Amino acid sequence: MPLCFIEPRDAIRVIAESVGREARRQLLDEIIRAWVDEIPDDELEQHYARALDELNDEDLSMLAAWHAGFDIGRPVANKEFLVRAFPRLGQHRREALRIAAVFRGEEALDSGTSERAALESVLPRLSRERLLELTGEALDIYCWDRLGVDN
């Protein structure tokens, strides 16, 4: 039986504080992916609308361009269109939410807001199994960062 002295959630936090900027961005992307994967289907639209509320015009334009790949009408880079189009994305709804959440997370990092806020809000919502999986990914990112990759 392995000994474990740190909870997976805490290990992820420690790793996030120990790596360079590019590795933190990659880790944040993995955390967001894990969070989106665990959201119940009936809550996706609500989270998508909330994520869109915090995006700037450039991010909304990029998200609308992503929507253009689906046959849902001519995409418009505004929140109302994107929220109305969300249900028609079908199996791609989680990916749309992930993209919007990543844009939101990158804005927080760029504005100087610590990824700690993202970690504090997302990690407690993840299942233990998902946290263990994410800890393994965080360790891979840590090793990648520490083996001399420029950040």
- Least trusted range by pLDDT, from 23-27, 112-116, 121-125, 129-133: 112-116
> What CA–CA distance (Å, rounded) separates 19 from 99?
23
Is the CB of residue 142 less than 8 Å from the CB of residue 23?
Answer: yes
Q: Looking at residue 147, what is its pLDDT?
A: 87
pLDDT band at 129 (very low <50, low <70, confident <90, very high): very high
Exposure on the CB side of residue 101, measured as CA atoms within 13 A = 26
pLDDT of 43 above 60: yes
The alpha carbon of residue 45 and the mean position of all alpha carbons in its chain are separated, in whole angstroms, by 16
Q: What is the mean pLDDT of residues 106-121?
A: 64
Q: Looking at residue 75, what is its pLDDT?
A: 73
> What CA–CA distance (Å, rounded) separates 96 from 19?
28
**What pTM did the predictor assign?**
0.79
